[in-house]
């Protein structure tokens, strides 16, 4: 679609680059007198609960950073093909003037071939929740007895 601009508008001496620039963000990151970065539009994944998930021949393992939670504040359960981790911590200030609440919910898909009945979880002294489960033993991988 072509737009026809009357020649009088183009030759009127109006500095269009100064009129339009404050109204439309440029691709170089300026908006009026302010600058912005595309990274500001993408939220960082710094939610206090980062995780590492791995699965190899030895088994399935998840490491979740739960430093701000006590072990009794955590719940780990298997729901279908997922392991769900929930953490909820509530704290009343001693002087009764405030209340703090932290909560997170995470789901991790359990790969096929993992022995879900042998799934274990424990919190390390440095605040890392470790969830692990071995792979199912098949006829070919069972040790002779």
Say which CATH architecture domain 51-134 belongs to: Sandwich (2.60)
Q: How far apart are the first and last CA of the chain?
A: 78
Question: How do the domains of the chain map onto residue ranges?
Answer: 7-41, 51-134
φ/ψ region of 56 (left if φ > 0, alpha if ψ in -120 to 50, else beta) reads beta
Q: pTM of the entire structure?
A: 0.60
Q: What is the pLDDT of residues 56-86, one digit of tens each?
A: 988 999 999 999 899 999 999 999 999 999 9
Q: What is the pLDDT of residues 79-137, one digit of tens each?
A: 999 999 999 998 888 887 888 899 999 999 999 999 999 999 999 999 999 999 999 98
- Residues 6-13 have a mean pLDDT of 56
């Amino acid at each position: 679609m072509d737009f026809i601009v009357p020649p009088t508008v183009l030759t009127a001496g109006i500095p269009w680059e100064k009129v339009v620039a404050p109204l439309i963000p440029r691709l170089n990151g300026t908006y009026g007198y302010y600058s912005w970065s595309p990274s500001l539009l993408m939220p960082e994944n710094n939610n206090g609960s980062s995780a590492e998930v791995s699965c190899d021949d030895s088994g399935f393992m998840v490491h979740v950073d739960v430093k701000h939670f006590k072990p009794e504040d955590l719940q780990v359960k298997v729901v279908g093909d997922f392991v769900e981790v929930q953490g909820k911590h509530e704290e009343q200030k001693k002087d009764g003037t405030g209340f703090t609440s932290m909560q997170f919910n995470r789901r991790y898909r359990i790969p096929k071939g993992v022995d879900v009945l042998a799934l274990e979880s424990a919190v390390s002294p440095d605040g890392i929740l470790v969830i692990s489960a071995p792979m199912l033993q098949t006829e070919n991988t069972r040790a002779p007895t």
